[in-house]
Amino acid sequence: MPSRASLTPEAITLAPPLPLPGDAESLLYEASVAHAIGHLRYSAHARDVGTLKPMRVAIQSLIEDVRVERLMMRAYPGLHSLWARFHRISTDRHGDALTFSALAARLAHALHDPAYADPNHWVDKGRTLIAALGERLHDAAAFDEVAAILASDLGQMRVRFDVQSYEVEPVYRDDNRFLWRFEESETVHAASVLSDSNANADASGDAAEMPDHPEEAGDRQSEQARTFAYPEWNYRNATLREDWVTVIEGDAPHTAPRHRGEPAGIRAMRRVALPVTWSARRITREQDGDDLDLDGFIEHAIARRSGLPSSGRVFTRAAGQPRDVSVLMLVDLSASTARCPPGSHASLLDTARETMERLVDTFDSTHHRFALHGFASNGREDVRYVRLKEFGDAYAQTHRHRLHAICPAWSTRVGAALRHAGHCLARERSASKVVVLMTDGEPSDIDVFDARYLIDDARHAVETLAKRRVRVHCVNFDPQADEVVRKIFGAGNGTTVARVARVGTVLERVVARILR
């Protein structure tokens, strides 16, 4: 049986009664009929869906519901309080979820009740756009433009359009079948037409496919990529959300062949003298030295008393050996790194990749092991992580092609990337392990609107790695983010490059200091 009312130009078909609190159940039919009459009076019937994407159709239907209800309430003010009962029910049922159904219900409530406050940026934007239309309630095209903007934003947010969970809200509204003409048979229910297996990809343009559920801690090998689940810190209630973020190892979000010139500030870095780092060590069982080797002396004494020959190696002396250091260079591949700073013809990402290339060419050796990795995020379910060069691999033309094929895309979920970088370093046996993050600003992502949330999560990731004896240093290209960098990485572990032309010199000094 249908769970929502349906209408045609000839008839209104009501859904079976639903168990609703208070007197809402008895008023449901009145609310449904009043809404349906609004469509019959003011809406265009059977518009051609054409090339509209499924999510766009659903959002445009919601906005059309708002338009006809405002026209009805202008003629019959009492309808506002009648319909308001059901908006409260819908919002309570969905809570703070960020699914399409939840966001649509919350937007509907926000557009009906001016007193309703919703913290979500997208909901607030919808309210602002509709408010800007003022009294242009008969201008259906203007309302369609608002729907197009909101649907596009949902696509950028990679919100999933899932037919299994989606129902028009509130419950008194019809299934919107009246508004559209689909190619399929008229007997097909509108909700099924609105969905398809690629609905989310259609809405967003190029959304990557994701598994339905993130894996548990660890990894899963698939045909295309490996996925890893990591926690995320929620500062609001001081809890660690287990298996909250999915990191996908594989290709970068977008790749295309690129051949660019060498940015200024890089040329001076060629063939810097290699700093050798030493760890204190004493050589034992020597013929001579600056101190007595107790173990060697005991062995010598036992041999003498036993009448056995002795080597006489009873001394120790100070010596040194190169200290092993593993450095993971982690570069931000987000869309914002495509910008070119004032006075530079190279983008931030161009500068970063050329800098990493020179650093590896200069410092990578037997004891100083370097890896090049990159990341970009598309919400918590798709943090893309790219291994460009591994520890122990000699930097070759294949690595260079892979590095220069990357194009900037998506956002910057720093905490998840750092946790995975720590996972990659776990197998290294070097005495010192360091992550050097190169980024152009503070953390951000499409599904987070609280600026503090990802900053505190990144700081938690840094602190967690520190407990595992992994040091994290940040090289930041955005002077305005200097305070955020200090907050996340701590004093002495963050460097802000005010002029991109100096990035080569700055990175050389940072790495040399790390290796020492």
Model confidence over 251-284: pLDDT tens digits? 766 543 344 444 444 444 444 444 444 445 567 7
Average the pLDDT over each of 162-166, 278-282, 428-432 and give the range with the smallest value: 278-282
pLDDT at 67 over 60: yes
Name the band, by pLDDT with cuts 50, 70 and 90, for residue 242. Answer: very high
Compute the distance between CA of residue 8 and CA of residue 67 in angstroms, rounded to an integer.
19
Six-digit token string for 77 = 């003010």
Give me the chain's average pLDDT, please. 81
Q: What is the pLDDT of residue 404?
A: 87
Q: Of 194, 244, 172, 201, which is closest to residue 27 (Cα–Cα)?
A: 172
* 143 and 28 both lie in a single domain: yes
Compute the distance between CA of residue 235 and CA of residue 119 in angstroms, rounded to an integer.
17
* 36 and 149 both lie in a single domain: yes
Q: For the chain, what's the residue count? A: 516
Q: What is the pLDDT of residue 249?
A: 92
* 147 and 107 both lie in a single domain: yes
* 423 and 452 both lie in a single domain: yes
Six-digit token string for 121 = 């940026």
Name the band, by pLDDT with cuts 50, 70 and 90, for residue 301. Answer: confident
Classify residue 437: in a domain, yes or no. Answer: yes
Classify residue 245: in a domain, yes or no. Answer: no
* 434 and 288 both lie in a single domain: no
* 161 and 301 both lie in a single domain: no
Domain of residue 66: give its range. 6-204
Classify residue 159: in a domain, yes or no. Answer: yes
Name the helix (H) or strand (E) containing 406: strand 406-407
pLDDT at 117 over 80: yes
Six-digit token string for 446 = 């499409």
pLDDT at 89 over 90: no
Compute the distance between CA of residue 115 and CA of residue 91 in angstroms, rounded to an integer.
14
Average the pLDDT over each of 18-22, 108-112, 150-154, 417-421 and give the range with the smallest value: 18-22
Q: pTM of whole model > 0.75?
A: no
Compute the distance between CA of residue 227 and CA of residue 216 in angstroms, rounded to an integer.
9
Average the pLDDT over each of 54-63, 236-245, 253-262 and give the range with the smallest value: 253-262
* 174 and 316 both lie in a single domain: no
* 182 and 43 both lie in a single domain: yes
Q: How many domains does the chain have?
A: 3
User: 431-452, pLDDT tens digit by residue?
Assistant: 889 999 999 889 999 888 888 9
Average the pLDDT over each of 83-92, 196-205, 256-265, 422-431 and give the range with the smallest value: 196-205
* 172 and 300 both lie in a single domain: no
Six-digit token string for 198 = 């690629």
Choosing from 145, 172, 204, the residue where a domain stops is 204
Q: What is the pLDDT of residue 95?
A: 57
Helices 140-156, 121-132: crossing angle, 10 deg rounding:
160
* 283 and 363 both lie in a single domain: no
Classify residue 56: in a domain, yes or no. Answer: yes
Give the burial string for 450-488 (b: 16+ CB within 10 Å, else e). Answer: eeebbbbbbbbbbebbeeeebbbbbbbbbeebeebbbbb
Q: What is the pLDDT of residue 318?
A: 62
Q: What is the pLDDT of residue 191?
A: 37
Average the pLDDT over each of 37-46, 206-215, 476-485, 486-495 and give the range with the smallest value: 206-215
